[in-house]
Amino acid sequence: MSDNNSLNALIEGLRRLPGVGVKSASRMAFHLLQHDRAGAQLLAQALQQATTQIRHCTRCHTFTEKEVCDTCTDPRRDAAKLCVVETPADQAALERTAAYQGLYFVLMGKLSPLDGIGPKDIGLSKLFERATDGVVQEVILATNFTAEGEATAHVIAEALKARGLKVTRLARGVPAGSELEYVDLGTIAHALVDRR
């Protein structure tokens, strides 16, 4: 396929997607060209549109097409609560529960020294400034319960507690619907410690 520069460029382009190797990229390119050129055109337009229109909310850092996102400008939100999450997907998961009415700060990442991701990359000074504006009364840490998420939560908690703020963390425990027999030991141990 030496005369197929467009095809090679498409395969290279698809490889920029996370988790897509050269085999998957070839399979995707074949599928689009053979069965879904309309989908390929839609995707091209969506990529173009997204990269030019989407920026970060100046208040909470999540993706938005506006200067300040709809959540941040919603007057029904409780501005005394600020929930810290790693990504917009985590924020969306919390929103789906409809159990939280406060505002958010989206780190757009997590502290990860091995990957060279430090406090600046996740906007911690911005977060500290926001959390100490006098309006926020409680910061709820909802970073993931992974090693990096926990470390990130720890760093934020220490800094904000030193500034006299109330800092809480999502409860760890047994997932709803689980049978104890099949839950891992660490989770049960945490659920015991955090019992109410």
Cβ distance to a second copy smaller for residue 73 or 168: 73
60 binds, among Zn ion, a second copy, none (CB under 5 to 8 A by kind): Zn ion
Distant-in-sequence, close-in-space partners of 99: CB < 8 Å, separation ≥ 6 = none
Tell me how far apart the alpha carbons of residues 59 and 93 are, in angstroms, rounded to a whole number: 20
Tell me which stretch binds a second copy (CB under 8 A): 61-69, 126-134, 150-158, 177-185: 61-69
Tell me how far apart the alpha carbons of residues 172 and 195 are, in angstroms, rounded to a whole number: 10
C-alpha count within 13 angstroms, C-beta hemisphere, residue 86: 16
- Residue 82's CB is within 10 A of a number of other CB atoms, namely 24
| 72-131: contacts with Zn ion (CB under 5 A) | 72
* Residue 108, phi then psi, degrees to nearest 5: 60, 40
Please tell me whether residue 141 binds Zn ion under the rule CB under 5 A: no
Please tell me whether residue 67 binds a second copy under the rule CB under 8 A: no
Given a contact cutoff of 8 angstroms between Cβ atoms, the answer to whether 85 and 106 are in contact is yes
**Using the rule CB under 8 A, which residue among 80, 92, 189, 192 binds a second copy?**
92
Residue 189, token pair as written in the block: 């141990």
Please tell me whether residue 135 binds a second copy under the rule CB under 8 A: no
CB of 69 vs Zn ion, minimal distance in Å: 3
9 binds, among a second copy, Zn ion, none (CB under 5 to 8 A by kind): a second copy
41 binds, among a second copy, Zn ion, none (CB under 5 to 8 A by kind): a second copy
Closest by alpha carbon to 87, among 11, 154, 146?
Answer: 146
**Residue keyed to tokens 């990229």:** 25
30 binds, among a second copy, Zn ion, none (CB under 5 to 8 A by kind): a second copy
Binding site for a second copy (CB under 8 A): 1-7, 9-10, 12-14, 16-19, 24, 26-34, 36-37, 39-51, 53-54, 62-66, 69-70, 87-89, 91-92, 108-109
